[in-house]
Chains A and B, each alone.
Chain A
Amino acid sequence: EAAVTQSPRNKVAVTGGKVTLSCNQTNNHNNMYWYRQDTGHGLRLIHYSYGAGSTEKGDIPDGYKASRPSQENFSLILELATPSQTSVYFCASGDATKLYAEQFFGPGTRLTVL
């Protein structure tokens, strides 16, 4: 069954440390996305990708990098984690062959930066 998976599901990091969140999709979708979810803000787009080797900045990219080494994998990297990056992070994949590119979401990663 097609799916979007994320690892880790929970992460506690220290301020200034490096954090890598991983996402894997078996939907064979070209597009992938990273969002963060905070109370009162809904989901906000951090980075996205149109395919292997491509990354694009979303609406709130500061403090984050992304990497898309393959069709299936998309990583979000926090080089120097800060407490303000404590949040729930969702990855999604989207089928670019459809005009509406419906997005399918992973289960989320809860990140706490102390």
Chain B
Amino acid sequence: GEQVEQRPPHLSVREGDSAVITCTYTDPNSYYFFWYKQEPGASLQLLMKVFSSTEINEGQGFTVLLNKKDKRLSLNLTAAHPGDSAAYFCAVSAPGNYKYVFGAGTRLKVIA
């Protein structure tokens, strides 16, 4: 079955710096990709969903890149601020398969 590897497990950056989190997956049939943010003690909030092949999606202060050829998904926080400190998880699913496979998560700490 699908396996998702997320790197790095921990990341510490200074305020204003960029931060990059990457997930690689194994199933070429995977088609739907998601990034979730989880603040300490809280539930998961959807940051962005990505469906297409090689695509850049931009949100508030972050960019998501999907490279289906390399089976790699990345989340790039362009100018991190302390409010970005949280755990981030990628999730992957295939068409018609309503189950997600999650990465193990990245604990991001942004130092002011």
Q: Is the CB of A100 within 8 A of B99?
A: no
Residues of A close to B103: CB separation below 8 A: 42
Residues of A close to B99: CB separation below 8 A: 33, 45, 48, 58
Q: How many residues of chain A are within 8 Å of chain B by beta carbon?
A: 26
In the complex, whether A43 has a CB less than 8 A from a CB of chain B is yes
Most buried by A among B43, B89, B96: B43
Cα–Cα, bound, A102→B93 (Å): 10
Most buried by B among A50, A105, A107: A105
Interface size classification for chain B: 20 to 34
Q: Is the CB of B51 within 8 A of A43?
A: no
Q: Is the CB of B105 within 8 A of A31?
A: no
Residues of A close to B1: CB separation below 8 A: 59
Kindly report which residue of chain B lies nearest to residue A96, judged by CB atoms. B98
Considering only residues 83-114 of chain A, those with a C-beta below 8 Å from chain B are: 90, 94, 96, 99-108
In the complex, whether B25 has a CB less than 8 A from a CB of chain A is no
In the complex, whether B95 has a CB less than 8 A from a CB of chain A is yes
Q: Is the CB of A42 within 8 A of B9?
A: no
In the complex, whether A65 has a CB less than 8 A from a CB of chain B is no
Of A41, A48, A105, the residue contacting B44 (CB under 8 A) is A105
Q: Is the CB of A43 within 8 A of B34?
A: no
Of A44, A50, A90, the residue contacting B43 (CB under 8 A) is A90
Which residues of B does A touch, CB under 8 Å? 1, 6, 9, 32, 34, 36, 42-44, 46, 49, 51, 89, 91, 93, 95-96, 98-100, 102-105
Which residues of A does B touch, CB under 8 Å? 31, 33, 35, 40-45, 48, 50, 58-59, 90, 94, 96, 99-108
Give 19 A-B contacts (CB < 8 Å), ordered by A residue.
A31-B98, A40-B9, A40-B104, A42-B6, A42-B105, A43-B89, A43-B102, A44-B102, A50-B98, A90-B43, A94-B98, A99-B95, A99-B96, A100-B51, A102-B34, A102-B49, A105-B36, A106-B43, A107-B42
